[in-house]
């Protein structure tokens, strides 16, 4: 379980968030009184959410590329979010752009790494994805300054090819009979194996 404490500093006009590493607090903007004219004192809460998404994805990308022994010099993630017009102003679209500087990297490799981060590993983005559409692009810059330009990344899973409709009961029956047929030949001393027992139990539980 994660735990963060947020305290209000009335004199400074800001919130201070402290997480696991207490030596690195984060300043968050707090509401002003009607008589105050001060400037912003930190991130807004909604900007902090975008920063969390960008840093979460960047963490995964750096970690995966290091394991692949890729030569990466720098990484910059720009996150843009579009909110609903009415309260509670939920994010409806979030776009992440990755700018990677390094040698020996290719677009297909980077696209796959970023896709793994966004779709599978980054808990912040997968949480946001329940409410907002997620989009990602990447730009690869080599050491001599050559750039691929901004290129899109496919994030959705490819659908399986269509099959002829088969009744679910027929699929389950086929599975059970195959297990029975294969385990009978492997049973010893007439004692059925565990899979064989599971198949028999399943078949016996069916009601036509």
What are 92-137's pLDDT values in tens digits? 999 999 999 998 899 999 999 999 999 999 999 999 999 999 999 9
Instruction: Kindly state whether residues 29 and 54 are assigned to the same domain.
Output: no
Instruction: Kindly state whether residues 72 and 82 are assigned to the same domain.
Output: yes
How many domains are contained in the chain? 3
Assess if residue 17 is contained within a domain.
yes
Instruction: Kindly state whether residues 29 and 63 are assigned to the same domain.
Output: no
pLDDT of residue 65: 93
Assess if residue 123 is contained within a domain.
yes
| Residue 63's pLDDT band (cuts 50, 70, 90) | very high
pLDDT of residue 191: 43
Give pLDDT tens digits for 145-201. 889 999 999 997 443 444 444 445 566 666 666 655 655 544 444 444 444 555 555
Instruction: Kindly state whether residues 126 and 172 are assigned to the same domain.
Output: no
Assess if residue 163 is contained within a domain.
no
Give pLDDT tens digits for 9-25. 998 999 999 999 999 99
Rounded Cα gap, residues 167 and 80, in angstroms: 45
pLDDT of residue 200: 52
Instruction: Kindly state whether residues 134 and 49 are assigned to the same domain.
Output: yes
Angle at 150 between CA 147 and CA 153, to 5 degrees: 125
| Farthest CA pair distance, the chain | 89
> What CATH number is given to the structural domain containing 99?
3.30.300.20
Host domain of residue 120: 45-152
Nearest to 174 by CA among 182, 185, 164, 186: 182
Assess if residue 158 is contained within a domain.
no
pLDDT of residue 159: 37
Instruction: Kindly state whether residues 37 and 113 are assigned to the same domain.
Output: no
Instruction: Kindly state whether residues 124 and 81 are assigned to the same domain.
Output: yes
Rounded Cα gap, residues 32 and 109, in angstroms: 47
Instruction: Kindly state whether residues 199 and 130 are assigned to the same domain.
Output: no
Assess if residue 159 is contained within a domain.
no
Instruction: Kindly state whether residues 36 and 127 are assigned to the same domain.
Output: no
As given in the structure block, the two tokens for residue 15 are: 């919130």
Instruction: Kindly state whether residues 52 and 19 are assigned to the same domain.
Output: no
| Residue 7's pLDDT band (cuts 50, 70, 90) | very high
Instruction: Kindly state whether residues 74 and 91 are assigned to the same domain.
Output: yes
Q: Is-contact 16 27, C-beta < 8 A?
A: yes
Cα Rg, the chain, nearest whole Å: 26
């Amino acid at each position: 379980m994660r735990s963060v404490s947020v305290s209000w500093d009335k004199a400074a006009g800001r919130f201070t968030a402290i997480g696991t590493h207490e030596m690195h607090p984060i300043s968050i903007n707090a509401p002003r009184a009607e008589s105050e004219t001060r400037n912003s004192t930190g991130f807004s809460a909604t900007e902090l959410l975008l920063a969390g998404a960008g840093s979460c994805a960047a963490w995964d990308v750096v970690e995966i590329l290091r394991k692949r022994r890729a030569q990466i010099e720098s990484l910059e993630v720009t996150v843009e979010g579009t909110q609903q017009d009415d309260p509670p102003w939920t994010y409806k679209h979030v776009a992440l752009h990755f700018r990677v500087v390094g040698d020996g990297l290719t677009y297909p490799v980077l696209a796959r790494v970023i896709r793994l981060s966004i779709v599978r590993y980054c808990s912040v983005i997968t949480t946001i994805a329940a409410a907002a559409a997620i989009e990602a692009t990447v730009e690869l810059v080599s050491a001599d300054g050559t750039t691929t330009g901004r290129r899109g990344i496919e994030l959705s899973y490819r659908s399986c090819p269509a099959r002829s409709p088969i009744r679910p009961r027929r699929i389950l029956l086929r599975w059970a009979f195959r297990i029975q047929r294969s385990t009978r030949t492997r049973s010893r001393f007439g004692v059925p194996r565990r899979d064989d027992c599971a198949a028999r139990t399943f078949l016996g539980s069916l009601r036509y």
